[in-house]
Amino acid sequence: MTEQSTSSETRRPDRAALVIAAVLAIIAAVIVYSTATAHGGSSTRVGPSAFPYTIAGCLFVLAIWTAFEAMRRDFPEREEQQIQPVIWIIGGLAAQMLLLHITGFAIATGLLFAATARGFGKGPLWMTIPIGIVLSFIIWVIFAKGLQLSLPAGPLERLI
Amino acid sequence: MDSFSLLAHGFAVAMQPFNLLYALIGVTLGTAVGVLPGIGPALTVALLLPVTYKLDPGGSLIMFAGIYYGGMYGGSTTSILLNTPGESSSIVTALEGNKMARAGRGGPALATAAIGSFVAGLIATMALALIAPTIVKFALSFGPAEYFALMILAFMTVSAAFGDSTLRGLTALFLGLALGLVGIDLQTGQARLAFGIPDLLDGVEVTTLAVALFAIGETLSVAASRSSGEEKIEPVKGSVWMNREDWARSWKPWLRGTLIGFPIGAMPAGGAEIGTFLSYSVEKQLAKRPEEFGKGAIEGVAGPEAANNASAAGTLVPLLTLGLPTSATAAIMLAGFQQFGLQPGPLLFANNPQIVWGLIASLLVANFMLLVLNLPLVGLWVRLLSIPRHWLYAGILVFATLGTIGANPSTFELGMLLAFGILGYILRRFGYPIAPVVVGLILGPMAEQQLRRALAISQGDVTVLVHSPIAVILLLLAVCAVVVPLIMRARGKGKVLSALAANED
């Protein structure tokens, strides 16, 4: 959690919070558009579109409120962020997602493991990737063989 | 039948050898995962849900109950030995507990936390068993309008009443509600917000959302900040047993904590934190030596820890009797029920009494097991704390994705996991609470159903929502839950509310 700060030197609007306000408004617009263009549904008095419209309306109000707070800089102070670890971890998750059905669970998840460790500053990859793959392979054996979860198999998993 | 004979039947279910084994596995896993720093009860439950997929409903829910209680116990160990205020459900325990550990009294601190949790869990679970049938009887008279009002109240207390901003709480809630719209409308079969993607027709999985927001969001934000230095684990020196004075100073706080925690958990107010903070300030007021507070007063561990567990059991009251989840943990448990086609609520008590009462009985059994697991074996759990952070978070992500893959091995589902993970990071970065998103996702469609049912019965007359006095009172309370905090914050009393924030649980 970020700490609430009492002092704000600048009175410029909080740009990031303005972006959030805009995103909320866009979500509201998408809900309205998607609901308005939907086909079918029956002619009950309160049909499937009433709730979406209400939520979209509320989101729109919240967007305006957020913009208002952004102008007043009411959002909590944020600490500096390091972007590199975030990229490593997101990269690891993306790699796992894309490779899962190609290389199987163990290799894909091993890469995620190594990338996350790298995000926390632990390397080198030639050491962490094999560790991750062995670990994921053990997990695969326990969960796919023992608990019968359907975890995708690849070349490694087919060995047993 | 009265509660006790029903509970006796429950014990007959819970004491079956296989169910005992499930409970044991549940409490062990729950403690092990709950001990890991940065993992609260909500994430513990979400991560371990896939383990229960292949069991029968009864066994699975029993294991689940063990995981839930185990996660609560594990969390307190972490906060005593490792000062991690990030773990919100036991922030207060960390205040005094960590000071005690630094003074070399970590053993008694752990013991009073464990025994206090046991006492509170025992009393609160009995209270749950006693009042559940009454509430069920009452709830059977509820129509859709009353349910709708109840859900609105739950929405407002979960999102707006506590925390440091009404705006951000409500925004988080409505994000969850918007996600709840995705999928096929239950009453008309119309696809909503699916954008022609078949994978979206089933809607957004609660577990996917919860795991992504809690596990991936947390991992990203810890990795990105890394401003805090290495945390120091306080070794447990000396005996874990409490001396006579510790006992004398602990037993009243345990009971008071239970008395405070249970009603707060049982009301649709959400969050174990509120009770722990209240209990802490009560103990501080009543203490013979208030100057010890802040330096390691055992009362400050015993009371809040009991309140924490009592309110965790209290949360099960609205969940089991009304089907109303008032915390992220309860929302995930509801998802656990739903995977077996069980809908908690008054009808579950009527139709599946052996499951409900077996569950309540196994909560008591799990509580006993946890006392045994936690006191003598605490050294084992402490060792889990020393896992380096890079391995820890790498492991958390492996298990987080394992759960999603196990439930639905599709690339699209993993994509959603990643997207929600990034959302979780952004929410944390800008100070949005997480729990309202999860509660909104699961409760939103239920509220919509009740609303439409009410309006269908009244043939579209909206005033049906305020016809019964119960519904009116509930709706008025919901309005208060939003307006009162707004006024308090405007008058500069916001600090109190943000201290009571229910972040994770």
For B191-215, what is each residue's pLDDT tens digit?
888 888 888 888 888 888 988 998 8
Is position B493 within any domain? yes
Buried b (16+ CB within 10 A) or exposed e, B336-361: bbebbebebbbebbeebeebbbbbbb
Is position B505 within any domain? no
Sign of CA dihedral B246, B249, B252, B258: negative
Better pLDDT: B492 or B478: B478
- The amino acid occupying position B480 is C
Domain that holds residue B297: 3-499
Number of CB pairs < 8 Å for A and B?
A: 200
pLDDT of B39 reads 78
Largest CA distance in chain B: 71
Interface test with A, best of B216, B220, B408, B504 (most A CBs within 10 A): B220
Cβ–Cβ < 8 Å for B434, B220: no
Report pLDDT digits (tens) over A8-56. 445 677 888 899 999 999 999 999 988 888 765 545 556 778 888 999 9
Interface test with A, best of B63, B211, B219 (most A CBs within 10 A): B219
Given A56, A97, A136, which is nearest B398 (Cβ)? Answer: A136
pLDDT of B500 reads 53
Instruction: Return the residue of B nearest to A147 by Cα.
Output: B54
CB contact under 8 Å between B51 and A147, yes or no, is yes
3-class SS string, B334-396? HHHHHCCCCCCCHHHHHHCHHHHHHHHHHHHHHHHHHHHHHCCCHHHHHHHHCCCHHHHHHHH
pLDDT of B72 reads 83
Q: Choose among B165, B154, B164, B207: nearest CA to B481.
A: B154
Report pLDDT digits (tens) over B98-150. 888 888 788 888 888 888 989 999 999 999 888 888 888 888 888 888 889 98
> What is the residue-averaged pLDDT of chain A?
83
Q: What are phi and psi of B191, to 5 degrees?
A: -80, 130
A1 interfaces chain B, CB cutoff of 8 Å: yes
pLDDT band at residue B184 under the 50/70/90 scheme = confident
Q: Which of A109-123, B74-88, B186-200, B246-260 has the lowest mean pLDDT?
A: B74-88
pLDDT band at residue A7 under the 50/70/90 scheme = very low
Instruction: Return the residue of A nearest to B447 by Cα.
Output: A51
Q: What is the ipTM of this complex?
A: 0.88
pLDDT band at residue B417 under the 50/70/90 scheme = very high
Is position B464 within any domain? yes
To the nearest whole Å, the CA of B255 is away from the closest chain A CA by 31
Largest CA distance in chain A: 64
Query: Where along chain A do its domains lie?
Result: 15-72, 83-159
The DSSP string of chain A is: -PPP-S--S--S--HHHHHHHHHHHHHHHHHHHHHHT-------SS-TTHHHHHHHHHHHHHHHHHHHHHHHT-SPP-----HHHHHHHHHHHHHHHHHHHHH-HHHHHHHHHHHHHHHTT---HHHHHHHHHHHHHHHHIIIIIIS---PPP-TTGGG-
pLDDT of B425 reads 92
- What average pLDDT does range B349-372 have in this prediction? 87
B84, HSE (Cβ side, Cα atoms, 13 Å): 24
- The amino acid occupying position B43 is L
Q: Which residues of B touch A42 (CB under 8 A)?
A: 188
pLDDT of A21 reads 93
CB contact under 8 Å between A86 and B224, yes or no, is yes
pLDDT of B88 reads 57
What percentage of residues in chain B have a pLDDT greater than 70? 91
> What is the residue-averaged pLDDT of chain B?
83
Interface test with B, best of A116, A129, A140, A147 (most B CBs within 10 A): A116
Chain A segment 109-148 residues within 8 A of B by beta carbon are 109, 112-114, 116-117, 119-122, 128, 132, 135-136, 139, 143, 147-148
pLDDT of B342 reads 84
For the purposes of burial, counting CB atoms within 10 Å of the CB of B219, is it exposed (0-12), middle (13-18) or buried (19 or more)? buried
pLDDT band at residue B86 under the 50/70/90 scheme = very low
For the purposes of burial, counting CB atoms within 10 Å of the CB of B187, is it exposed (0-12), middle (13-18) or buried (19 or more)? middle
Given B50, B430, B451, which is nearest A20 (Cβ)? Answer: B430
Better pLDDT: A112 or B98: A112
d(CA B301, CA B36): 20
What percentage of residues in chain A have a pLDDT greater than 70? 88
pLDDT at B234 over 80: no
Number of Cβ within a 10 Å radius of residue B232: 12
Cβ–Cβ < 8 Å for B410, B229: no
pLDDT of A9 reads 46
- What average pLDDT does range B77-98 have in this prediction? 70
pLDDT at B338 over 50: yes
pLDDT at A90 over 90: yes
pLDDT of A3 reads 41
| Cα B372 to Cα B31, B365, B458, distances in angstroms | 12, 11, 55
Chain A segment 57-86 residues within 8 A of B by beta carbon are 58-59, 62, 65-66, 69, 74-76, 78-83, 85-86
CB contact under 8 Å between B388 and A122, yes or no, is yes
pLDDT of A28 reads 93
